[in-house]
Amino acid sequence: MFTRSTCHVSKKPFQKASGFTLIELLVVIAIIGVLVGLLLPAVQQAREAGRRLSCANNLKQMGLAVSLHADAQKHFPSGRKTRDPYDVSWAFRILPFLEQSQIFNSRNPDTTVPCWDSSNATAFRSPVGAFYCPSRRSPAADRNFDNNNQPPVASGIGVAAGADYSACGGTYFNYATPSTGGPDPKRAGVIHTFSEVRPAQITDGLSTTMVIGDRHIPPAIAGAGVMEHYNQGDTAVFVSDTPHTLFRDTARGLASSPFDTNNRKFGSLHPGVTQFVMCDGHVEAKSNDMDIDVLLKYAAIGDGDDPSDIDEGDGT
């Protein structure tokens, strides 16, 4: 007998398409936003830590360079030997010890030729990476020459090499020079105008005497024009005629913030600290709130006091 088979078709229940609801999507976006908010400061802190380490390495290189200069010349580099734009600064004098002899040797040997002359373009307009703090800027030939408050030539404005570091001129770098012609050890720093300080003159100890530090650069003054860099103490670093570019002192403490208007202070963009290299070549980060009396002792070459004997405090 023929029997017709019955075909049974099984039916699956209706399945809902997978996906996020609007509420679920908003929750995920909110969570991602919170995670990014938590992660971003950590990333920024890590980057700044790297920049600060690079800055410390710059200072260490400069500290080694001034020590090598002292070994070769029997004294630390002179801050400057004239007050006009025909001499070079301490920064230029240590170039051979920073493996920058090409720039050093390119200077026009005729010292009656001013720094901004085209024959001195390589010498004074070549930025050197070791002089720039990565927390502030990249190396560039964008600083002004200073010529007794007048622009030297139109083409000479804003084409000089700069720096983010200054030598420590002392507790107050325009100190009175004794009749003997030597520096006052209770006030003088290692590098200042007309200086030729010998290692033996640093009686407070090489490890507790600052030689170079982060330079504070105050905000620009509105309407300063071509004198903006001069007012900030941020002009050509290889030239001799702008003391508040070449030197900083400790008479007024460290810069309280990036908005501090004083152009003779040390300071940095590293949160809360300013870095210095000591005469023995090691680098220290000093709190921006440190006691000014201790800071003064680190700046002088022979005041007879050991800063380590005094609590650095917080400036309060």
3-state secondary structure 297-315: HHHCCCCCCCHHHCCCCCC
**Domain locations along the chain:** 35-309
| pLDDT score for 27 | 80
- CB 217, CB 210: distance < 8 Å: no
**Cβ-based neighbours of 15, under 8 Å, separated by 6 or more:** none
**CA 178 to CA 195: how far, in whole Å?**
13
**Which tokens hold the place of 304?**
């007879």
Q: Are 254 and 295 contacting, i.e. CB atoms less than 8 angstroms apart?
A: yes
Rounded (5°) CA angle 237-243-247? 75
First-to-final CA distance of the chain: 112
Calculate Rg over the CA atoms of the chain. Answer: 29
Integer Cα distance of 5 and 200 in angstroms: 115
Which pLDDT does position 151 carry in this prediction? 47
Residue with tokens 């105050």: 218
**Rounded CA gap, 211 and 301, in Å?**
10
Burial of 122 from C-beta contacts in 10 A (0-12 / 13-18 / 19+)? middle
Q: How far is CA 107 from the centre of its chain?
A: 25
Burial classification of residue 289, based on how many CB atoms lie within 10 Å of its CB (0-12 exposed, 13-18 middle, 19 or more buried): middle
**Among candidate residues 136, 137, 144, the one with its CA nearest the CA of residue 255:** 136
pLDDT recorded at residue 315: 36
Give the DSSP letter of residue 14: P
Give me the DSSP letters along 226-246: GGHHHHHT-S-SSBSS-HHHH
238 CB-side CA count, 13 A: 28
Render each residue's pLDDT in the chain as its tens digit; 316 residues: 445 555 555 555 555 556 668 787 788 888 888 777 777 776 677 788 899 999 999 999 999 999 999 999 999 999 999 888 889 999 999 999 999 999 999 999 998 988 888 899 999 999 999 999 999 999 999 998 875 545 445 556 678 999 999 999 999 865 545 445 667 888 899 999 999 999 999 999 999 999 999 999 999 988 888 788 999 999 999 999 889 999 999 999 999 999 999 999 999 999 999 999 999 999 999 999 999 999 999 999 998 877 766 555 443 2
Query: Which pLDDT value is given to residue 316?
Result: 28
Residue 150, classed as helix, strand or coil, is strand
| Rounded Cα gap, residues 209 and 67, in angstroms | 13
Backbone angles phi, psi at 211, to 5 degrees: -125, -40
Task: Give pTM, 2 decimals.
Answer: 0.82
Tokens describing residue 92: 């230029």
- Residue 267 Cα to chain centre, angstroms: 8
pLDDT score at 174: 56
Check if the beta carbon of residue 107 is closer than 8 Å to that of residue 88.
Answer: yes
pLDDT of residue 226: 79
Provide the 8-state DSSP code for 49: H
